[in-house]
Amino acid sequence: MEKGELKILNKGEEEEMELQGYRLCRWRLALVGFGVLCTGGFLLLLLYWMPEWCVKSTCTRTTARDAEVVLLRSTDEFRRWFLARVRVMLAPGSNPFHSLETQTTSPSSSPSSPSSPFSSPSPSPLANGHTPLPSDGSPAQELIRKFSDYQPTQIRYFTFHSTKYYWNDEMQNFKVLTGLEDLEVSCSTIHSEHSAGLTRNQQEYRRLFFGVNEIAVKVPSVFKLLIKEVLNPFYIFQLFSVILWSADEYYYYAVAIVFMSVISIATSLYTIKKQYIMLHDMVAAHSIVRVSVCRANNDVEETLSTDLVPGDVVVIPSNGTIMPCDAVLISGTCIVNESMLTGESVPVTKTNLPNPLPGEQEGADSAYNTEEHKRHTLFCGTNVIQTRFYTGELVKAVVVRTGFSTAKGQLVRSILYPKPTDFKLYRDAYLFLLCLVAVAGIGFIYSIVLSVMNEVPAKTIIIESLDIITITVPPALPAAMTAGIVYAQRRLKQIGIFCISPQRINICGQINLVCFDKTGTLTEDGLDMWGVQRVEGGRFHLSEESAHKENLVKSQFVACMATCHSLTKIEGQLSGDPLDLKMFEATGWILEEATEEETALHNRIMPTVVRPPKQLLPSQPDVSAEQDMELAELSSLYEIGIVRQFPFSSALQRMSVVSRTLGEKCMDAYMKGAPEVVASLCKKESVPENFAEVLEGYTKQGFRVIALAHRRLGSKLNWHKVQNVNRDYIEANLEFLGLIIMQNKLKAETPGVLQDLHRANIRTIMVTGDNMLTAISVARDCGMILPEDTVIIADALPPHDGQAAKITWRYADKPSRTTRFEEINISLENEGHVEELKTQQLYHFAMNGKSFAIIAEHFPDMLQKLVLHGTVFARMAPDQKTQLIETLQGVDYFVGMCGDGANDCGALKRAHSGISLSELEASVASPFTSRTPNISCVPSLIREGRAALITSFCVFKFMALYSIIQYISVTLLYSVLSNLGDFQFLFIDIAIILLIVFTMSLNPAWKELVSRRPPSGLISGPLLFSVLTQIIICLSFQTITFLWVQKQPWYEVWTPATDVCNHSDHLNVSELNSTEVDEHNIQNFENTSLFYVSSFQYLIVAIVFSKGKPFRQPSYKNWPFVLSAVSLYFFLLFIMFHPVEGIDKFLEIVCVPFEWRLKLFLIIVVNAAVSVLVEGVIDLQAYKCLFRLCPRKTTPKARYMHLAQELSVDPDWPPKPTTTTEAKPRPENGSAYEIIIHS
């Protein structure tokens, strides 16, 4: 095995990482220790910031198997480094799923039996010099003592991001133990081999590997957080600056910076600590509960939930509980509130895992998977409201995953270890700082050379040279940059938008595409019953308003509406899916559920019963008083018991029930679901010929259509058989009953908001789980697709029978104009390449989830072209929504996602800015949460994002200019061996800079969204041009001032005796001579002149850079800023034209003749005029003229623009209707595809 091998962890998953093994090297450690001492601890800091350097400087490469330290690197675009320490534990066996009782005791076969996925060769005692953990007295040691016959095995593992990775000898790599799914057990195996429970010894043994079942969110101590925060490179730089200023006796500003840093650190610590506590409380609320566990000997014992391991069998109490782990139901049914996971507080019915019998068809007994079998899985953190059970048989579930491996654990991990936000602004900020550091380097060398030439003492040389660096890289920059974001966050809070990731506010300013969920986001949450259309004898009846009629009471259609649902009574109230509720209410029937006592009396589960109210039943003939009343009541009784439920599955797009009508021998099966799916499972002759046309008629109008079907089951199918029968057997050969038409109304705000977004050139996309044509209709209604636009549906078929995958293109609504696409091609040729292609409005693609998956797999290049004009994505599964967002980001769109949190969690997290309209726990993972349950929050968030982004640019430009202006002043003064005085620095840094920076960030967002977007990074033409021109202007005017003052007739080298103002106050002079000697040569004409000019320059650039329209409100509406600027102007003009002795003495300003003050005033006015004029010209984009002088072919930066340009000249795009596109792998290159188009 090579030493330099690279292992891949979590291959193909979101957390994929490269792994390299290292072992500690003593001489390297000693060398690094010496280096740390020599650098006064700075090397240690550097190694703390750079894990890669830390490992490589203290360790040598080795194989992953022998590693003591592993170096990890993420494979995503951030390529982050991490290190983890490999630990060793002793265990009686090497595979958690092996039964200790059946393991052999021979030392050779136990640790390395080939069947064990976690086997390892028999280790030498204390291999590699590791001390095996845990030590004596630990659970492992006790287990080893219990099983003293077994050869203890060394298990090597490391922990990273709350997940344990164990060494797997078979794979020759580290692997995560997730739970029971690692065994890839089939559904029948779970029933046959895992339903009995574990012995106490097995449980203890498994706990060694899976750990305690707890999602432990440790709240770090304030000290720990403080150390982590303080070790940030910026705070270290501030500490260096403070020490330097203290050495230079510049205490006041040092204190001010320390004060600011303390406030900044304290706020940061408070926020982080608050988030940790909130998360800890959210998790801890139900992390430890008492549970009943079935043991292998049929005993039930109470234990703490922290002791649970995968394979344990838990009893779900009848009064409900909060699940402490992920478990699969093996008997009984449960009603669960999954709002913690999905954001929807609609109770869901969970049924027991099917147990296919050996004789049944092959596909029925698939390997258990939490995603595939989620209708049988109880997830951690979800609330079991109530259970249904058999007498003498408890409701049991097998534990599948524990701790951080559970669904809730994964959610908490995504919050604890979020992906860093990659934004050009932050990357550019660091580049910009590097440029400033380079400028500082030049000044550093210049000041050293100058000081050495002038024989300045060494201490002064060191302090003044280093001082140049602190001037050029302003220590107040981080505080200044976060101010704008903090203000934006506060404004968002006022309009009911809460943010858990403030850095993302800036990214919102770049959004140019927003994906919307449909139901509950664009449309109202609930559905209204519009009507029904029944089918009899394979023909449609006319549509009816309701099925609430006497003559229909005993019809199969109404029976299906009354039984085919997953409704339940909770505290006497009917609850369940809103669609089911509306459908059941439309029948006017009554639902009754058995009480626990009733269930206990009977030999089997009591079914839920539905029956019509008496007034709906056909009237009975009069009954005489003598006749038996009970008999009459029985004959008039009509009720249906729901015997078995197959819950709704979004993968299958249907649900069904088996029911029995009172007094009938045979049972009935009823099904409801997506019309296309239901029709495909019905007998051909029962489906009307015009079914597709009728369905299309409704879906085009935006109705939600549900189809119903029925089947009479054979008399041989008794109650017990029904409980174990396979779903596929029931859901076949049905009779088509008809359609239920539901109306899903648009929210009042939707059309207006979408119009605002379109006007602002922000693309909108609909991603929904609903029917395609319904979604297209809603998209037209809300203005996402304009009336005159064409919609092309892409239907993809997977490869089968040796045929390649293909896409069929068709119109959603056959338009009369057939020449449409030729027109498009011509208009495009004339258009040339325009930044935002206007052709986007002419055609839209629509596809469903199945087609999306096929295109993503077989036509990856095509998918990027399709998303460029894709507007409707229907029947999309939650993971497909995430995939779509990744595809859009892949073509350089800044994607926003707005959903109600239900099944959009992954997409909300993945988007650049995800806005959840639900305040439930699941939306914790979403960066933004809106209290207003409609999409009006989207433009507000984008507006605030744009304002915050522009504010960040303004502040950054201002801080850069502040550094450079001060740098120019200091550099010019160094040439005459002078400097700015401490109080001059203090006045500039605190009175001018801090005041201006914190008030210039207060401009609120502009009232409406404009079509222009702010630049995404600092390194862009206009921004750089703006900064450079202002630097040149400031440099020119300071240099003019510096040289002009020396040319004045009254100019001489200043001494305390100098009197150019004719004050001749000798007393004052003698006082000055006797009390103070100006060591640093602060008081001189150059210093005073530059101080005045530079002070005004700070204010000039602040006003020039403080941009308003079109992204922020104009600066004159920001009264704190106006007040600060006006006060400072007034104060500076006052001390310039009316010297006050106290102020002059404090600021170390010398008196200059009045005519020179007028000249200074003239310099300042001209400087202001030039700055304003140049910035105005840049705003008018006149700088583009410069680029036009040197013409070159520009290709758009964003990939989507590049693609749009290519497609605009492609004669075969968009594909013509009624054509097919086939994928043919090219023989020479397996990844490319040859597209064959034929009608």
Query: Hey, which residues are catalytic here?
Result: 517
Element (H, E) at 415: helix 407-416
The rounded distance, in Å, linking the Cα atoms of 1 and 976 is 68
**1037: phi then psi, degrees, rounded to nearest 5:** -70, -30
- Please state, in angstroms and rounded to a whole number, the distance separating the CA atoms of residues 380 and 1173: 63
**Which residue is listed with tokens 């001032």?**
1041
What values do phi and psi take at 670, rounded to 5?
-120, 145
Token digits of residue 64: 């992953």
Cα separation of 315 and 300, whole Å?
8
Tokens coding 256: 């001010």
Alpha-carbon span 566 to 582, nearest angstrom:
12
202, 209 Cβ separation under 8 angstroms:
no
Structure tokens belonging to residue 947:
């304002």
Rounded CA separation 502/1145 (Å): 45
CA-to-CA dists, residue 1237 to 373, 1017, 1214, angstroms: 40, 42, 12
Structural element, H or E, at residue 1046: helix 1021-1046
> Residue 139 carries which side chain, given as an amino acid letter?
P
Task: Answer whether 653's CB lies under 8 Å from 731's CB.
Answer: no
Which residues, 6 or more positions from 499, have their beta carbon under 8 angstroms from its beta carbon? 489, 492, 493, 505, 927, 928, 929
- Beta-carbon contacts of 986 under 8 Å, excluding residues fewer than 6 positions away, are 250, 252, 253, 256
Per DSSP, 187 falls in state H
Say if residues 332 and 395 touch (Cβ distance below 8 Å).
Answer: yes
N- to C-terminal Cα separation, the chain: 56
Residues written for the chain: 1239
Cis peptide before 613 (omega within 30 of 0): no
Q: Under DSSP, is residue 84 helix (H, G, I), strand (E, B) or coil? A: strand
Cα-Cα-Cα-Cα torsion 1208, 1211, 1213, 1217, nearest 10 degrees, comes to: 140
CA distance 573 to 568: 8
Percent helix, strand and coil across the chain, each to the nearest 5: 45, 20, 35
Given a contact cutoff of 8 angstroms between Cβ atoms, the answer to whether 314 and 338 are in contact is no
Alpha carbon of 343 to those of 323, 918, 1118: distances in Å? 17, 7, 40
| Phi, psi values for residue 215, rounded to 5° | -95, 90
Residue with the two structure tokens 């029937």: 589
DSSP lists the bridge partners of residue 155 as 89
DSSP 129: G
Alpha carbons 388 and 335: distance in angstroms, whole number = 8
C-alpha R_g of the chain:
38
Report the DSSP beta bridge partners of residue 502. Answer: none
Question: Do you find a cis peptide bond into 134, omega within 30 degrees of 0?
Answer: yes
Q: Between β-strands 163-168 and 173-176, what pairing exists: parallel, antiparallel or unpaired? A: antiparallel
d(CA 1123, CA 1089): 25
Cβ contact 1039:972 at 8 Å: yes
Closest CA to 123 of 99, 90, 146, 149: 90
